Amino acid sequence: MTNPTTLPGLAALLLIAAPLAAQDAGHGEAARNLSLDDAPVRAEIALDCSFDTECVEGEPCADSGFAPHLTGMAGGMDESAMVARVLLSSEATEVELLGVRDGGAMSLSGGSFEERHLMTVGVDGTARYTVHMSEGPMMISYLGQCEAAQ
């Protein structure tokens, strides 16, 4: 006699494992070996950002003149979701950020263990940039806009 929990358990395992088999469907070997340098679809990233609000942990938000530049490249199999590698540079810092560009929106992160950076840019250019520091610990957030560099 079979255990009544065996069949449902097996079915659940198959449902969980099915996406693993689908990972190779579609673009095959070529997709697994792509880099940003040889992706079929590539897009240059060049944005000037202006953050007019700065919020330091434990303090009220205040006006800010922080204006970093983002330069880099995005690439992938199509424009719907591309891997992005961007250099954020300003007078205060220079940090490489990695993430995803989906149409005009981006989600990026990077930095060191001591200082993690997270940046999101919406399709309309609305931007959020946050730095988390392990010393303290402490967090600074910026609210602003990014637009195509001139």
With respect to residue 84, please indicate whether it lies within any of the assigned structural domains: yes
Strand partners, 146: 49
With respect to residue 61, please indicate whether it lies within any of the assigned structural domains: yes
With respect to residue 54, please indicate whether it lies within any of the assigned structural domains: yes
Instruction: Give, in degrees to the nearest 5, the angle at Cα 51 between 50 and 56.
Output: 160
- Whether 134 contacts 126, CB under 8 Å: no
What is each CA distance from 110 to 85, 86, 105, in whole angstroms?
10, 10, 17
What is the pTM assigned to this prediction?
Answer: 0.75
With respect to residue 113, please indicate whether it lies within any of the assigned structural domains: yes
Per-residue pLDDT of 94-133, as tens digits, reads: 999 999 999 889 999 999 999 999 999 999 999 999 999 9
| Number of domains within the chain | 1
Residues of the domain holding 97: 35-148
High-pLDDT (> 90) share of the chain, %:
63
With respect to residue 128, please indicate whether it lies within any of the assigned structural domains: yes
Per-residue pLDDT of 55-76, as tens digits, reads: 999 999 999 999 999 999 999 8
